Amino acid sequence: MKNILLSLCTLVLFTTFSLAQCSKFYPFSKGATSTLTLYNEKGKTQGTITYQVLSVSSTTDGEKASVTSSFKDEKGKEITTTNYDAYCKNGTVSIDFNSMLRPEMTRAFGGGDIKSEITGVDIDVPNNLSVGQKLKDAEMKMKMSMSGMNFNMNTFITDREVVAKETITTPAGTFECYVIFQNTVSEGMAGSMKRSSKQWFAEGVGVVKTEDYDKKGKLDGSGILTSFSK
């Protein structure tokens, strides 16, 4: 389960929503809902993560969407929820680095009362994706305290590149997708962990598939879009 969830920072990242007038990949529409089912390396269901747009508003230079994500385990029990914002400006969606707060961070501490301070660099997804295109890096740095203990957890997303264009069929439909590859380094109390992942993006929907790989490049888990509505 932990390995499956480790790269959810890169899934949450891209399964947020953005305004049709500004972004061609995500519908910024109040109530828009997307659910991905998560699987381990053997294809066994590990849970689901659902995203919903709570509100959409105008800013001085674009649009803002407030999004909530809910992670449930394989038994359907809600483990954690995360709220974050996405902004659209000049044809680029910037996703709040708070979206990289991984569900297992809370799960690992029994869902206890954790105080945190988070800083970082937002994740950008431009409209004009093309194969071979390099994308900006992103990061999240978090200081946490619980029951008198203080610790840090950091996530760095690097080497982002559009590597292919493919047609993907999921329970939610068939989609033409751009595939984005990236490397992720997670740092915490247990040390540093390097991983890589791919996400399949469809216009007007967002992420429809994700695959996570361990440091040796072996498939370690995946996520598939199983429902979408707006």
Kindly list the domain boundaries of the chain, sorted by start residue: 2-229
Instruction: Tell me the DSSP string of the chain.
Output: -HHHHHTHHHHHTTS----TTT-SSS---TT-EEEEEEEETTS-EEEEEEEEEEEEEEETTEEEEEEEEEEEETTS-EEEEEEEEEEEETTEEEE-GGGG--HHHHHTTTT---EEEEEEEPEEEES---TT-B---EEEEEEEEETTEEEEEEEEEEEEEEEEEEEEEETTEEEEEEEEEEEEEEEETTEEEEEEEEEEEETTTEEEEEEEE-TTS-EEEEEEEEEEE-
Mean pLDDT of 59-80: 91
Residue-wise pLDDT tens digits, 191-200: 889 999 999 9
In this prediction the pTM is 0.81
Tens of pLDDT, residues 93-151: 888 766 655 555 555 555 456 677 888 888 888 989 999 999 999 998 888 787 778 88
What fold does the segment set 2-229 form as a domain? YmcC-like fold (2.40.360)
The pLDDT tens digits for 207-218 are 999 999 999 999
User: Can you give the pLDDT at residue 2?
Assistant: 46
